[in-house]
Protein backbone atom coordinates (compact mmCIF):
# COMPACT_ATOMS: atom_id res chain seq x y z
CA UNK A 1 0.00 0.00 0.00
CA UNK A 2 2.90 2.39 0.78
CA UNK A 3 4.64 1.94 -2.56
CA UNK A 4 1.31 2.44 -4.33
CA UNK A 5 0.99 5.82 -2.59
CA UNK A 6 4.46 6.90 -3.77
CA UNK A 7 3.74 5.80 -7.32
CA UNK A 8 0.51 7.79 -7.41
CA UNK A 9 1.60 10.94 -5.61
CA UNK A 10 5.37 10.92 -6.23
CA UNK A 11 5.19 12.96 -9.45
CA UNK A 12 2.86 15.48 -7.79
CA UNK A 13 5.23 15.88 -4.85
CA UNK A 14 8.16 16.26 -7.24
CA UNK A 15 6.24 18.91 -9.24
CA UNK A 16 5.49 20.91 -6.10
CA UNK A 17 9.18 20.76 -5.14
CA UNK A 18 10.28 21.96 -8.57
CA UNK A 19 7.73 24.80 -8.52
CA UNK A 20 8.98 25.88 -5.10
CA UNK A 21 12.63 26.06 -6.16
CA UNK A 22 12.02 27.70 -9.54
CA UNK A 23 9.11 30.07 -8.80
CA UNK A 24 8.27 30.64 -5.15
CA UNK A 25 11.76 30.83 -3.64
CA UNK A 26 13.21 33.33 -6.19
CA UNK A 27 10.11 35.53 -5.89
CA UNK A 28 10.41 35.60 -2.11
CA UNK A 29 14.09 36.54 -2.46
CA UNK A 30 13.22 39.44 -4.82
CA UNK A 31 10.55 40.68 -2.41
CA UNK A 32 13.02 40.60 0.47
CA UNK A 33 15.61 42.54 -1.57
CA UNK A 34 12.97 45.11 -2.60
CA UNK A 35 11.86 45.60 1.00
CA UNK A 36 15.48 46.08 2.10
CA UNK A 37 15.94 48.67 -0.67
CA UNK A 38 12.79 50.57 0.32
CA UNK A 39 13.82 50.54 3.98
CA UNK A 40 17.20 52.11 3.10
CA UNK A 41 15.87 55.03 1.03
CA UNK A 42 17.65 58.28 1.80
CA UNK A 43 17.34 61.95 0.91
CA UNK A 44 19.20 62.88 -2.30
CA UNK A 45 18.96 59.39 -3.78
CA UNK A 46 17.82 59.14 -7.41
CA UNK A 47 15.10 56.53 -7.85
CA UNK A 48 12.50 55.19 -10.27
CA UNK A 49 8.90 54.56 -9.28
CA UNK A 50 6.97 51.46 -10.29
CA UNK A 51 5.19 53.53 -12.94
CA UNK A 52 8.50 54.65 -14.49
CA UNK A 53 8.85 58.17 -13.06
CA UNK A 54 12.44 59.24 -12.40
CA UNK A 55 13.18 61.58 -9.51
CA UNK A 56 15.43 62.60 -6.64
CA UNK A 57 14.22 62.10 -3.08
CA UNK A 58 13.90 65.46 -1.29
CA UNK A 59 11.84 64.45 1.74
CA UNK A 60 10.79 61.23 3.49
CA UNK A 61 7.85 61.35 5.90
CA UNK A 62 7.00 57.89 7.28
CA UNK A 63 5.42 56.16 4.23
CA UNK A 64 5.30 59.23 1.94
CA UNK A 65 8.30 60.18 -0.20
CA UNK A 66 8.54 63.50 -2.02
CA UNK A 67 10.41 63.32 -5.32
CA UNK A 68 11.74 66.19 -7.39
CA UNK A 69 11.05 65.15 -10.99
CA UNK A 70 12.10 68.46 -12.58
CA UNK A 71 13.28 71.83 -11.36
CA UNK A 72 10.72 72.97 -8.77
CA UNK A 73 8.37 70.11 -9.73
CA UNK A 74 7.60 67.73 -6.91
CA UNK A 75 5.41 64.65 -6.58
CA UNK A 76 4.48 62.66 -3.50
CA UNK A 77 4.45 58.87 -3.73
CA UNK A 78 4.18 56.05 -1.26
CA UNK A 79 7.40 54.43 -0.15
CA UNK A 80 6.32 51.09 -1.62
CA UNK A 81 5.87 52.54 -5.11
CA UNK A 82 9.59 53.18 -5.46
CA UNK A 83 10.94 50.24 -7.38
CA UNK A 84 14.62 50.84 -8.15
CA UNK A 85 17.68 52.93 -7.63
CA UNK A 86 18.35 55.08 -10.71
CA UNK A 87 21.63 53.29 -11.43
CA UNK A 88 19.84 49.91 -11.42
CA UNK A 89 17.15 51.25 -13.76
CA UNK A 90 19.54 52.44 -16.49
CA UNK A 91 21.84 49.38 -16.48
CA UNK A 92 21.44 47.28 -19.61
CA UNK A 93 20.23 43.77 -18.84
CA UNK A 94 22.22 40.99 -20.45
Domain residue ranges of the chain, discontinuous segments joined by +: 1-40, 43-94
In CATH terms, 43-94 corresponds, of 2.30.30, 2.40.50, 2.40.350, 1.10.3470, to 2.30.30
Give the pLDDT score at 89.
Answer: 61
Measured in Å, how far apart are the chain's first and last C-alpha atoms? 51
pTM across the whole model: 0.67
The parts of the chain modelled with pLDDT lower than 70 are 1-2, 86-94
d(CA 28, CA 2): 34
Residue 8: its pLDDT value, please? 86
Q: Which residues contact 64 (CB under 8 A, 6 or more apart)?
A: 76, 77, 78, 79
Q: Specify the DSSP class assigned to residue 91.
A: S
Amino acid sequence: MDSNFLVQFGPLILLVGVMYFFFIRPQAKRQKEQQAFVDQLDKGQEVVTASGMFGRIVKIEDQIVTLEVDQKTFIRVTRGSISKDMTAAIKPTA
